[in-house]
Amino acid sequence: MVRISVLRLGHRPQRDKRVTTHVCLVSRAFGADEILVNTRDAELEKTVNDITERFGGNFTIKTGINWKKYMQSFEGVKVHLTMYGIPVQDIISEIPKDRDLLIIVGSEKVPGEVYKMADFNVAITNQPHSEVSALAIFLDRYFEGNELKKRFNGIMRVVPSKNGKNVKIFTRDECIKVLKEQGADEKLIDHSIAVADLALKIGVLCNADLPLLECGAILHDIGRTRDNSVSHGITGALILRSLGYPEDIVNIVKRHVGGGIESEEAIKLGLPETDLIPETIEEKIVCQADNLISGTKKIKLENILDYYRKKGLIRSVERIRSIHRYLSDLIGKDLDEL
């Protein structure tokens, strides 16, 4: 897999703190995997690592890099962003996308050696402007806009809003707080925690979005604070939408009941005509974790299947078995063994 690195030259901790921080943030947000800074700066490392920890992703930072040795030993493609280079629109198609990429971004004067060591000297216009904007535009052209679709699995999620700011915190404590605010009793909270614990055991083994998974699992039965019927998933989805939660959490809650509910079944059950079958990996995990937790205790697959058989819900039996098999194959062991 291609790795994208950004090398920041000429960083002066006392004078360039803000600009270099923005270079780091652009690198992370626009698809790079790491940033390397030539000057040692522990405070900069802490700032960037704190942001990555809160907002997600696998972005890393290293400072105190010997830039010359690093460039000499780098085996991929080296691109130097400079106003004196070839315009990006004329050269971007020639930059390989199947090799590791090192993007060099300077601050003040860049040593002449950099121009010679680079495979490409690229300009984002031949006019003076910020290295921050140059890096953002180059990465956007390189990824053809696809970097804007990248997901960051952090505990803090910005929910797009037409007006104001909407930030949700996907931590266990925050989600339990929301349950309590909605009137959940200890029994419901204890069950939700048990479901979350099992969901995380599964999620760790299949590269799921763990903060999203934990939040969805804790909140999966929030609808039961209003409605203990089969429609509690839909009720919970409405509650979370009213609280400003994003659709990926809403859908986990809406689609967790049984093995999911098809639109035809929904009509027969008096629910809105909508497909409530879990789709994403996180939706399937929460759905099955809930099936395998009775109260706070884990039960075997056959126990839950017998329950649905006795109710005559054969299609639910088939769906629950299918999700169980899918997740078991994905993690390399039967869920009953966890």
Q: What is the pLDDT of residue 263?
A: 84
DSSP-derived secondary structure for 7-22: EE-S--TTTSHHHHHH
Mean pLDDT across the stretch 136-161?
96
User: Model confidence over 254-265: pLDDT tens digits?
Assistant: 999 999 998 888
Provide the residue count of the chain: 338
Mean pLDDT across the stretch 296-318?
93
Q: Which superfamily, per CATH, for 167-337?
A: Hypothetical protein af1432 (1.10.3210.10)
Q: What is the pLDDT of residue 52?
A: 97
User: Model confidence over 182-213: pLDDT tens digits?
Assistant: 999 999 999 999 999 999 999 999 999 999 99
Cβ neighbours, 10 Å, residue 236? 27
Q: Are 255 and 279 in contact (CB under 8 A)?
A: yes
Mean pLDDT score across all residues of the chain: 96
pLDDT category at 266 given cuts 50, 70, 90 is confident
Strands (E), 9-59: 34-37
User: Does pTM surpass 0.85?
Assistant: yes
Q: Is the pLDDT of residue 280 over 80?
A: yes
Q: What is the pLDDT of residue 240?
A: 98
Q: Which fold has domain 4-149?
A: Alpha/beta knot (3.40.1280)
Which residue matches tokens 């790491």?
34
Q: Are strands 34-37 and 60-63 parallel, antiparallel or unpaired?
A: parallel
Q: What is the pLDDT of residue 199?
A: 98
Q: What is the pLDDT of residue 271?
A: 82
Domain boundaries, the chain: 4-149, 167-337
Q: What is the pLDDT of residue 310?
A: 92
Q: What is the pLDDT of residue 224?
A: 97
Q: How far is CA 169 from CA 85, 194, 215, in A?
A: 43, 20, 9
State the burial class of residue 302 (Cβ atoms within 10 Å of its Cβ: 0-12, 13-18, 19+). exposed
* Same fold for the pair 4-149 and 167-337: no
Side chain identity at 7, as an amino acid letter? Answer: L
Among candidates 200, 201, 235, which has minimal Cα distance to 221? Answer: 235
